[in-house]
């Protein structure tokens, strides 16, 4: 009796298809990338560094976070993190007097022009002091609120000048690399420069 030979299945084409599918998914799949926080750590100053300029108290908004994540503004006013954004906006946008480098009174500011608050957006410094026991989440929440405050002010002045929000200009920059757009973004940043000073954490 003759031995029956079973037919073989050619799997070469299947391997090719699997390989092509693998390449397709590698090329077509997008990966989520977490963005970091755009903050530069303070650098140690050399011994011969020039002395910092004298800053008037009214141009500094002091925010402190203790080890229990409680917030104090100007050393005595206890506030919630939800209030920080508006407090920062009122301080930065006060525009009571002339700015640095011969810049006159802020004509685009909408603040109360309180003589006891900041003179000009380019003089307004936000001093953030934390404790070594402060939670990471609370620290990030404060930075986020301060970032939102600057974004609100930049969006407003950008809409007034260019008919587009600052955020829209930043998004447009992904596809538009023109110098004109870069100049617009720089102008908005110069009108409301982000000046945040981080004081060395305390041990209390």
Per-residue pLDDT of 110-140, as tens digits, reads 999 999 999 999 999 999 998 888 898 999 9
Q: Which range of residues forms the domain containing residue 84?
A: 70-153+193-202
Helix (H, G, I), strand (E, B) or coil at 127: strand
Asked whether residue 146 is assigned to any structural domain, the reply reads yes
Asked whether residue 134 is assigned to any structural domain, the reply reads yes
Specify the pTM: 0.76
- Average pLDDT value over all residues in the chain: 86
Asked whether residue 144 is assigned to any structural domain, the reply reads yes
Quote the pLDDT of residue 48.
Answer: 79
- CA-to-CA distance for 119 and 98, rounded, in angstroms? 6
Quote the pLDDT of residue 143.
Answer: 92
Query: Of 41-50, 89-98, 130-139, which one has max mean pLDDT?
Result: 89-98
Q: What's the structural domain count of the chain?
A: 1
Identify which of 79, 69, 201 has the alpha carbon closest to the alpha carbon of residue 136: 69
Asked whether residue 2 is assigned to any structural domain, the reply reads no
């Amino acid at each position: 009796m003759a031995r029956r030979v079973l037919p073989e299945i050619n799997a070469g084409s299947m391997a090719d298809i699997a390989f092509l599918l693998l390449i397709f998914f590698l090329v077509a799949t997008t990966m989520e990338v977490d963005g970091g926080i755009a903050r530069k750590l303070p650098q140690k100053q050399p011994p011969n560094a020039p002395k910092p300029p004298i800053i008037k108290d009214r141009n500094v908004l002091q925010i402190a976070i203790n080890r229990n994540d409680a917030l104090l503004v100007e050393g005595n006013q206890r506030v919630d993190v939800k209030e920080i954004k508006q407090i920062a906006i009122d301080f930065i946008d006060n525009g009571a007097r002339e700015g640095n480098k011969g810049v006159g009174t802020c004509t685009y500011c909408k603040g109360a022009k309180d003589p006891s608050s900041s003179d000009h957006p380019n003089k307004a410094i936000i001093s953030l002091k934390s404790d070594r026991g402060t939670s990471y989440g609370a620290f990030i929440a404060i930075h986020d609120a301060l970032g939102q405050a600057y974004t609100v002010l930049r969006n407003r002045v950008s809409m007034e000048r260019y008919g587009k929000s600052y955020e829209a200009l930043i998004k447009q920059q992904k596809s538009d690399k023109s110098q004109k757009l870069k100049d617009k973004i720089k102008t908005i940043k110069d009108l409301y420069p982000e000046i945040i000073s981080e004081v060395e954490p305390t041990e209390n």
